[in-house]
């Protein structure tokens, strides 16, 4: 091809490109405007990557996206086959852990479903909304086995071995229901029951209240066995029981926690979970949200919304390690009989640590907003998360 021919072809290509530009010139209305917006969105995304923004890594093997709004609760049945999630959309869903196929839609709620969990053998499912409506479903035929109502709900727990539900409420009452008979006992108190759980002996229940007190209840007689008054008046934020020892740990909204002997109601130790660093933001939330006991080591772990994890030696009652995560940690859970625990963050990341040295082992990413609930499968092969981003995720623990 001669130089003259190349020049002519180049001119023709320029004219063709000019015509092409004219053809897709974008008007201010109709399809042109839509295309303009699409291109603008593409350019912004391109700029985000070019400006050093990192692509979000999603480590999840499955994402459940049926909810419309935040997902507040998640649980998995004992056989690790079905998952239940409750959300801001006044719905709870039961779905298959392998393919997210919906098994049961739980509707009829009046408010956000803030609690949803399976009983000890997975035959019953309880779901409760914030307004106080509790519905229990039979997993065999997906029918409602029982329903009841109380005042605004703070928490819900199944008994470890019986079909009994405990529900803590804002008016201070704890409702105990037998299912499906509906037989009821009420443990009354003047201040909000913000957290609670059954003790391992199955005969007692411990609850933390908004006045900072902790009470251990005798369930048979519905009376307080031990009352542990607050040292500071700060509300109780969370509570946990050791699965093998008569130990209870309670966290508070003033960056403190107490270790309690459940046999005599005595306080064994007071733990300072604050940052204790000069220059720290005085308004930083140092609420103790995460609490967990390690069964393979004589250790306990606390976490705060200020982003600190404290590992406590229960023999010396001193700090073993402090982990500065940098983001609020809302929940902690150990792998059964192992020194490994999970910490769920307000940044949407699940972190796994070794309690023996406080070292980070791995991270599980994918959520775009805070993690609101977390569960570990009984077989310790998967973990599940519920998030403010409107999704629930399943992560394989065999990440690598």
User: Is residue 55, in this structure, part of any structural domain at all?
Assistant: no
Pair 26, 36: CB distance under 8 Å? yes
Please indicate, yes or no, if residue 56 is contained in any of the structural domains: no
Same domain, 273 and 355: yes
Residue 1 has what pLDDT?
Answer: 52
Same domain as 107, residue 20 = no
pLDDT tens-digit readout, 125-145: 999 999 999 999 999 999 999
Which range is least confidently modeled, 1-15, 39-53, 56-70, 172-186? Answer: 39-53
Same domain, 310 and 392: yes
Mean pLDDT of 105-132: 97
**Phi and psi (nearest 5°) for 18?**
-60, -40
DSSP label at 235? P
- Domain identity same for 195 and 301: yes
pTM for the predicted model, two decimal places: 0.84
Per-residue DSSP letter, 275: -
Q: Do residues 265 and 313 both lie within one domain?
A: yes
Locate tokens 């490994």: which residue?
340
Mean pLDDT computed over 333-347: 96
pLDDT in the model for residue 17 = 37
Q: Which of 36-50, 51-65, 203-217 has the highest mean pLDDT?
A: 203-217
CA distances from 116 to 100, 123, 223 (A): 17, 14, 27
Mean pLDDT of the region 109-123: 97
119 falls within a domain:
yes
The reply to whether 203 falls in a domain is yes
User: Are residue 81 and residue 43 in the same domain, yes or no?
Assistant: no
**pLDDT category, 200, cuts 50, 70, 90?**
very high
User: Quick one: average pLDDT of 112-121?
Assistant: 98
Same structural domain, 8 and 120: no
Give the CATH number, domain containing residue 289: 2.130.10.10
User: Rounded distance, CA 92 to CA 104, Å?
Assistant: 8
**For position 106, what pLDDT does the model report?**
97
- Which whole number is the average pLDDT over 275-294? 76
Task: Give the residue, 40 or 95, on which the prediction is more confident.
Answer: 95
Give whole-number Cα distances, 69 to 87, 90, 205, in Å.
7, 10, 33
pLDDT band at residue 284, thresholds of 50, 70 and 90?
A: low
C-alpha closest to that of 365 among 308, 309, 327: 327
Does the residue 123 lie in any domain? yes
Would you state the torsion angle of the CA atoms of residues 163, 196, 393, 61, taken in this order, to the nearest 10 degrees? -70
For residue 57, being part of any structural domain is answered with no
Q: What whole-number distance in Å separates Cα of residue 198 and Cα of residue 71? A: 25
Structural domain span for residue 15: 3-50
Identify whether residues 171 and 246 lie together within a single domain: yes
Neighbours of 399 (CB within 10 A): 12
Residues 250 and 294 in one domain: yes
Q: Are residues 83 and 32 in the same domain?
A: no
Residue 283 lies in a domain: yes
pLDDT value, residue 19: 38
Domain membership of residue 328 (yes or no) is yes
Q: Which of 116, 118, 184 minimizes the C-alpha distance to 149?
A: 184
Helices (H) and strands (E) in the chain, counts: 2, 32
Query: Phi and psi of 204, rounded to 5°?
Result: -135, 165
Residues 29 and 67 in one domain: no
What mean pLDDT value characterizes the chain? 88
Cβ contact 236:250 at 8 Å: yes
211 and 141, same domain (yes or no): yes
Residue 73: which residues within 8 A CB-CB, separation 6 or more?
84, 85, 86, 113, 114, 115, 116, 117, 372, 373, 386
Higher pLDDT, 41 or 360: 360
Q: How many domains does the chain have?
A: 2
Higher pLDDT among residues 338 and 24, named by residue: 338
Q: What's the pLDDT score for residue 68?
A: 97
């Amino acid at each position: 091809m001669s130089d003259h021919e190349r020049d002519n072809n180049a001119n023709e290509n320029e004219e063709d490109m000019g015509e092409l530009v004219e053809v897709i010139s974008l008007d201010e209305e109709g399809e042109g405007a839509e295309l303009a917006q699409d291109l603008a969105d593409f350019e912004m995304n391109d700029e985000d990557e070019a400006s050093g923004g990192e692509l979000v890594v999603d480590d999840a093997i499955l994402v459940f996206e049926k909810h419309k709004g935040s997902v507040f609760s998640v649980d998995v049945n004992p056989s690790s086959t079905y998952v239940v999630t409750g959300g801001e959309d006044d719905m709870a869903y039961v779905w298959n852990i392998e393919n997210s196929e919906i098994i049961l839609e739980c509707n009829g709620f009046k408010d956000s479903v803030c609690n949803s969990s399976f009983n000890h053998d997975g035959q019953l499912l309880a779901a409760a909304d914030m307004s106080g409506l509790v519905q229990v479903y039979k997993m065999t035929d997906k029918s409602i086995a029982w329903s009841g109502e109380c005042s605004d709900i703070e928490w819900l727990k199944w008994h470890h071995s019986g079909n009994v539900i405990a529900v803590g409420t804002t008016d201070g009452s704890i409702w105990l229901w037998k299912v499906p008979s509906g037989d009821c006992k009420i443990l009354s108190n003047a201040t909000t029951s913000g957290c609670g759980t059954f003790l391992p002996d199955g005969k007692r229940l411990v609850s933390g209240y908004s006045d900072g007190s902790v009470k251990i209840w005798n369930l048979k007689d519905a009376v307080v066995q031990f009352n542990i008054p607050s040292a500071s008046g700060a509300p109780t934020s969370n509570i946990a029981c050791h699965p093998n020892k008569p130990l209870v740990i309670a966290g508070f909204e003033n960056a403190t926690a107490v270790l309690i002997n459940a046999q005599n109601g005595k306080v064994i130790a007071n733990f300072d979970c604050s940052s204790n660093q000069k220059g720290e933001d005085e308004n930083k939330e140092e609420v103790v949200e995460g609490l967990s006991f390690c069964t393979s080591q004589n250790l306990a772990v606390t976490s705060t919304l200020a982003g600190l994890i404290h590992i406590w030696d229960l023999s010396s009652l001193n700090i073993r390690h402090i982990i500065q995560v940098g983001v609020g940690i809302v929940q902690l859970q150990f792998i059964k009989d192992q020194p490994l625990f999970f910490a769920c963050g307000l940044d949407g990341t699940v972190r796994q640590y070794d309690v023996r040295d406080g070292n980070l082992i791995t991270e599980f990413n994918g959520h775009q907003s805070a993690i609101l609930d977390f569960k570990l499968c009984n077989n310790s092969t998967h973990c599940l998360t519920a998030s403010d981003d409107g999704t629930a995720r399943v992560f394989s623990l065999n990440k690598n």
